[in-house]
Amino acid sequence: MDAYLVAMLVFAGFYALMALGLNVIWGLTGMVNLGLVGFFGVGAYASALLTSKLAWPMPLGWAAGATIAALAGGIMALIVARLRGDYLAIVTLGFAEVIRLVASNEVWLTNGTDGISGIPGPWRGAVTPQQFNLIFLGIVWTAVAIAFYLLSRASHSPFGRVLRAIREDEDVAAVAGKPVLWFKVRAFVTGAAVLGMAGALYAHYNAFIAPEGFAPLLTIYIVLALTAGGVGSMRGAIIGAIFLITLIEGTRFLAAAVPGVTPVQKAALREGAIALTLILLLRFRPQGLIPERTRTKA
Amino acid sequence: MTGSILEVRGLARRFGGVVALAGLDLTVRRGTVTALIGPNGAGKSTAFQCISGVIKPDSGTVRFEGQDITGWRPDRITGAGLVRSFQIARGIPRLTVLENLLLYGQAQPGESVLTAFLGTAAQKRREEALREKARAIAGRLNLARVLDNPAAALSGGQKKLMEIGRALMADPKLLILDEPVAGVNPTLSAEIATHIAHLRDEGMTVLIVEHHMDFVASLCDPVIVMAEGRPLMEGSFEQVANDPRVQEAYMGRRAVHA
């Protein structure tokens, strides 16, 4: 049970990092990004390959994962410069699928659908699995803390103000003297870097990555986490990630405790409970658990 | 200083089959409050969109302070000192009035990612200077009490004032206002006219599109009339109002029975 709890907290950390990254792109700047799992995957593969094939030290691999994902984000921002709303959603979704298909088919590089195994982890083998989980718990939540600190500052800085203005009305932001495209590129780069870092850390925690781990469902989870937590709010992103993990995992035990139903019915009950909770949350608290607030006071 | 600050020559723009601008010539003299009037569909708003860079003209040139700014991005045009307001007060609804004003501040180093992460002294100094300026502008426009309110919570008239205030934050040499008193009550409308007259007296040039003729008569000289994407005539409000061509453009031609 302890091991399970720690593992869930580690995953909550990954989710929180991803929700923070998405919050820069979607929450602050208003660019729908249904391809976030693609950036997560790019970071994971980059770090896994560099550390296992070229024997780079892990911290360098993580930095490379974030950097390459950021680069992909910058290119993405230029490609989708003129797209908004639904169109942006379709193109970003397509991007993530392209990443997944490349990972499945470029066998020489990624080992295809068999995935990459034996990715090194910090002190893995030298410590017990439970100690390893605890070490990683520290690493991932340190990353969350650093990302949260920096992104909160950015969010409440003049930079964040411009991103919010672009989200609300691009023409006004442009007339206010802000080069809109350049701000979008920087928002995408910043958010994708955090997503890539999350992916890199995930690869080294899991020791194994395969294309099927980067399916669109994960994107949907993170979008739900941010929506539940509060779109545009950095604290909301973290609270939303914890909330979502608790909801998904907690209902497992709740459903198990219901007497007189078959296992199949229990599984259905669980999914129903998750859906109902999210619907109720969005109905009665559409602004999220921690609504976005700016700090500028006269 | 006299002479022209803005010269528009042969500006044309069509939307599919609709010709919105068919060769607009327009000169705004320095230190004036010039009005651009005309019936609905005359192309006034399209002219503003093209001059401010929000949409690109098909042909023609826009010269501001002697410099060709045709086809420039809106942020560069604002940076050069030509700042526009929007017809429907397009506040950034979820930001406060103060944040809306600060948004229009120029040269804020805190708009770079790295500076934003670090929260440097330069960013804080500039932010303080911009706040000082925002407070002064808000005081002048009677917005001081609502600085912390979200823009969405303002009354229609206050939104119009905020539009003007935001534009002033960018230090315009030429301020172009798209219907600054549409839907505003007569008292506030007169107040807005006074604010604009003061700006002119301080040396700013203003170009206004407006349908309220009382407002135009009390404030604007010269008045330029547009119809069907072209300039029709220019003169004082008296001259323009008494010109049969202008009456015809607004009221339509009397039916000729053959």
Encode pLDDT of B99-114 as tens digits.
Answer: 999 999 998 888 988 8
In a domain, A73, yes or no: yes
Percent of chain B with pLDDT strictly greater than 90: 69
Q: How many domains does chain A have?
A: 1
Residue B1 is predicted with a pLDDT of 47
In a domain, A277, yes or no: no
- How far, in Å, CA of A121 to CA of A137, rounded? 12
CA of residue A265 relative to chain centroid, distance: 31
In a domain, A195, yes or no: yes
Structure-block tokens of residue A63: 């930095």
Q: Which domain holds residue B225?
A: 4-92+163-251
Residue B94 is predicted with a pLDDT of 86
pLDDT surpasses 70 at B152: yes
Q: Do A296 and B112 touch (CB under 8 A)?
A: no
Question: Is the separation of the CB atoms in B104 and B169 below 8 Å?
Answer: yes
Residue holding tokens 């323009």? B240
Instruction: List per-residue pLDDT tens for chain A, 298 residues long.
Output: 688 999 999 999 999 999 999 999 999 999 999 999 999 999 999 999 999 999 999 999 999 999 999 999 999 999 988 888 889 999 999 999 999 999 999 999 999 999 999 999 999 889 999 999 999 999 999 999 999 999 999 999 999 999 999 999 999 999 999 999 999 999 999 999 999 999 999 999 999 999 999 999 999 999 999 999 999 999 999 999 999 999 999 888 888 888 888 889 988 999 899 999 999 999 999 999 999 988 787 7
Residue B2 is predicted with a pLDDT of 60
Residue holding tokens 């330029």? B224
In a domain, B110, yes or no: no
In a domain, B155, yes or no: no
Report CA torsion sign: B30, B31, B35, B41.
positive
In a domain, A139, yes or no: yes
Q: Which domain holds residue A110?
A: 2-215
Q: How many domains does chain B have?
A: 1
The pLDDT tens digits for B206-219 are 999 998 999 999 99
In a domain, A97, yes or no: yes
In a domain, B143, yes or no: no
In a domain, B60, yes or no: yes
In a domain, B102, yes or no: no
Residue A253 is predicted with a pLDDT of 86
Helix (H/G/I), strand (E/B), else coil: B85: coil
Mean pLDDT of chain B: 91
In a domain, B129, yes or no: no
In a domain, B180, yes or no: yes
pLDDT surpasses 70 at B258: no
B 44-83 → A contacts, CB under 8 A = 52-54, 73-75, 78-79, 83
In a domain, B40, yes or no: yes
Domain with B241 in it: what CATH number? 3.40.50.300
In a domain, A78, yes or no: yes
pLDDT surpasses 90 at B139: yes
Residue A255 is predicted with a pLDDT of 81
- Per CB-CB distance under 8 Å, the chain B contacts of A297 are 98, 148
- How far, in Å, CA of A292 to CA of A163, rounded? 14
- The residues of A whose Cβ lies within 8 A of any Cβ of B are 150, 153-154, 157-162, 164-165, 168-169, 171-180, 183, 186, 190, 292, 294, 296-298
In a domain, A290, yes or no: no
Report the pLDDT averaged over residues B5-31: 94
